[in-house]
Amino acid sequence: VSGSVTGNWNSGTATSGEAGADVVTIGASDTKNKLHSLLMNISAFEAGAKVTIKLFMLVNGTARKVYQKEFNKGTDPNGLWIVNASVGIHEALRVEAESNKAADNGAPIEYDYMLEAM
């Protein structure tokens, strides 16, 4: 699955209530899948931006942050390999992003993931 989404990455509030915006939701509740890869592209972001990628999934019925990593536009590559090995998921996995640069509001983030039904 591939796509592109825009959001208020700096001034917005994502579903989690944290700063940023939602990128994509992968999988579905109570559905077993293998997520083989998740790639994201931040080439449209401002030079020097600190971009934080966050993943959330239900743990015992409550959405919990299960991953967070910061990337620096201009230091790290524009293409970010967030998931680079197969991982089993059994709930929807929500991807959120945040930038420390206000000029990134409205910039597109591209994503690409491979999901296999189990």
For the record, the structure tokens of 61 come out as 């019925």
DSSP symbol at 73: B
Give the pLDDT of residue 57.
Answer: 97
In 3D space, the residue among 22, 24, 71 whose CA is nearest the CA of residue 45 turns out to be: 71
Q: Which tens digits make up the pLDDT trace of 30-65?
A: 999 999 999 999 999 999 999 999 999 999 999 999
**How far is residue 53's CA from residue 43's CA, in Å, rounded to a whole number?**
14
Residue with tokens 């998740």: 38
**What 3-state DSSP class applies to 108?**
strand
Give the pLDDT of residue 97.
Answer: 98
The residue-averaged pLDDT of 104-115 equals 98
Q: Which tens digits make up the pLDDT trace of 75-103?
A: 999 999 999 999 999 999 999 999 999 99
pTM above threshold 0.85 = yes
List Cα–Cα distances, 52 to 19, 47, 49, 68, in angstroms: 10, 14, 10, 7
Give the pLDDT of residue 43.
Answer: 98
Q: Which tens digits make up the pLDDT trace of 1-12?
A: 999 999 999 999
